[in-house]
Structure 1
């Protein structure tokens, strides 16, 4: 029989580490409860809500979390229906969004209604890749150039070495290969199927680097040299793209702009130019948009994506123009959205359910999911820009409890 008190006392005395509790318990739930009780005692706090969850902690502890004490709860709401006319997503969809920001889902929902009323958003995936860029130290500049040249001349050999490690990953190019002094930064670019693929491409790149080191004497300093660029805003990802590169567009009839969005095409265009383009330029922002991170974050949290990639998904450019007949053209371009419909956090019960609501859980669904994301970002961005153009933003937040 498990002696909870004895384990907690040994934890306090440093005789047992938090990660070792499972060795002294019959199952994961006992270990979680003891770890939680220990934290309550040492922090003089009461953990009540973290202990209420439906997650399969046995499964999660094997691949999603270490030293678990429970789970957080974020409200999940639904926006939609949103009509999408994509290559992969076709029809009307309801989108689950996890957020604690009042007014966000109401705003996205207004955008969904406007887009659906206008016939639906056109969505496309313009690129699909995952990257890993190690940093290599050469003996000299001459040696660095030799390594760069060898990489460029022996792509097929490196591709073969990398792809031995994966059934789904395909190395499509190594570009750019940057030399800085005697350091070399080759950017390995892969396709990864339905998984986000960060772990996949890291393992595959390391296999290719083993061959490279053997052939050239290259010394690998780190498997990531920050040219990937993973989990950080960057100009190279803005230009080259990473994950899914997405575009969504809509032409909103003048009548819908005025009746649903309570604004005009001219006003929305001016706000977009002055705020998203000029304002972003003078501030040095890498995201020429109003709020992509809001929609990306809410979808990512609901569907078990890697939340650190929200910063990449916040990159992008919003464009708006008035058509000759007074209608509004509106588009969003997201060059860097790393997502998955299998693996990682997508198997957690709540995440799986949210993916299933959209019909995108499992294999061969990631492109459909990507187009739904693009349409959702379009809806949220459109609604916010209209609210700003009409002067409604502060009022909406005040009415929905977010003054």
Structure 2
């Protein structure tokens, strides 16, 4: 008996779902009072989030900043965008010889970088050798761009140049994960990626008790027990904070940033000190990756947000993005301070979430 071939029905042609916009609820909070070497004045900030308690939490820190003459002081201490390339050699000795040759050509490599972009400048070259593998980490200044594409383009030019002029090495990858992009790593926390900024505030005792309903001693103690020891026990990498990622994501989405960069951006250290009843509180963020030009920045809502933030002004290259980084760091401090204060009081955090989310129609 001859078996009949099985007929498989042809599925209907797949159709792509229609493109549609799903706006994330956004609210302007503030103003925050900021001083420092990259921004000064009072500014409202846009926060795009589904977590509605974030708005009043940041607003509480913002109100506090306006009651202090210097507000939140932000010091920008460094800036660099990175891209690492992977080279392969026959053995470690050859890889090491190649690394020495690369460092000897730094001036030459800076010229190659300038030919790749009007704004990219090669700052530093670092390397790491594992067996026959040579990882080369290029660090660039990138003007007002966050610099991902600019750094990759420059690295591509540099890689081609190295393969042409350095003997006995071959191509491994344009990205060797020694950058490190969108991953929480020790190297980013140590060397920085993007803008490295510290936001700090000095709060008199009367405001700590009156506005935050707690004490400097309680916040300092909780910071050690929760942010430092708790994170250590959890295996955190170069990080000790309560929720930097919340503020970063909300501001990144509202200002057209690459939201995935909150992975390394949320690395950072909160410091709290009881100074005779007054509170010193700071947030150090070594990996703020923001830009005011580039992909996403011409969308109407983003352009409006950057304009209202004062980051569309006629300033020297890089200054608008430095301002945005300072505003971002200050925003993180506002939310971090508010949450830490709330967590010193039993029940306060959950009561606030329940009250605010029910009032907006969100499930409690």
**Which residue of the partner structure matches residue 141 of structure 1?**
92
| Offset, 1:191 | 0.2
Mapping for residues 178-197 of structure 1, pairs under 5 Å = 178-197=128-147
Q: What is the DSSP-based 3-state SS (H/G/I as helix, E as strand, rest coil) of the residue aligned with 1:204?
A: helix
**Which residue of the partner structure matches residue 266 of structure 2?**
314
Mapping for residues 125-274 of structure 1, pairs under 5 Å = 125-175=76-126, 177-217=127-167, 218-274=169-225
Matched, 1:375 2:327: no
- Are the aligned partners of 1:96 and 1:357 in contact in 2 as well (CA < 8 Å)? no
Report the Cα distance in structure 2 between the residues aligned to 1:159 and 1:190, rounded to whole angstroms.
Answer: 10
Deviates more, 1:182-191 or 1:82-91: 82-91
- Of 76, 91, 98, the residue aligned with 2:48 is 98
TM-score normalised over the length of structure 1: 0.82
Deviations, residues 315-349 of structure 1 (Å, cap 9, x unaligned): 0000000112x100000000001110011111111
Report the Cα distance in structure 2 between the residues aligned to 1:146 and 1:379, rounded to whole angstroms.
Answer: 49
Deviates more, 1:111-120 or 1:264-273: 111-120
| Offset, 1:39 | 3.9
Report the Cα distance in structure 2 between the residues aligned to 1:12 and 1:167, rounded to whole angstroms.
Answer: 50
| Offset, 1:216 | 1.7
| Offset, 1:114 | 1.2
Deviations, residues 80-135 of structure 1 (Å, cap 9, x unaligned): 11100122211111001000002111000001111221220110111000000011
Report the Cα distance in structure 2 between the residues aligned to 1:378 and 1:269, rounded to whole angstroms.
Answer: 15
Report the Cα distance in structure 2 between the residues aligned to 1:154 and 1:141, rounded to whole angstroms.
Answer: 20
**Which residue of the partner structure matches residue 321 of structure 2?**
366
**Which residue of the partner structure matches residue 123 of structure 1?**
74
- Of 29, 44, 66, the residue aligned with 1:79 is 29
Matched, 1:298 2:250: yes
Which structure features the higher share of helix residues? Answer: 1
| Offset, 1:12 | 5.0
Give unpaired runs (5+ residues) of structure 1: 1-10, 15-37, 41-46, 48-68
**Which residue of the partner structure matches residue 394 of structure 1?**
350
Instruction: Give the length in aligned residue pairs.
Output: 341
| Offset, 1:154 | 1.2
Report the Cα distance in structure 1 between the residues aligned to 2:235 and 2:80, rounded to whole angstroms.
Answer: 26
Q: What is the DSSP-based 3-state SS (H/G/I as helix, E as strand, rest coil) of the residue aligned with 2:287?
A: strand
Report the Cα distance in structure 1 between the residues aligned to 2:322 and 2:91, rounded to whole angstroms.
Answer: 44
TM-score normalised over the length of structure 2: 0.91
Report the Cα distance in structure 2 between the residues aligned to 1:340 and 1:366, rounded to whole angstroms.
Answer: 5
Report the Cα distance in structure 2 between the residues aligned to 1:386 and 1:373, rounded to whole angstroms.
Answer: 20
| Offset, 1:13 | 3.6
Q: What is the DSSP-based 3-state SS (H/G/I as helix, E as strand, rest coil) of the residue aligned with 1:226?
A: coil
Give unpaired runs (5+ residues) of structure 2: 1-10, 358-362
**Which residue of the partner structure matches residue 360 of structure 2?**
none
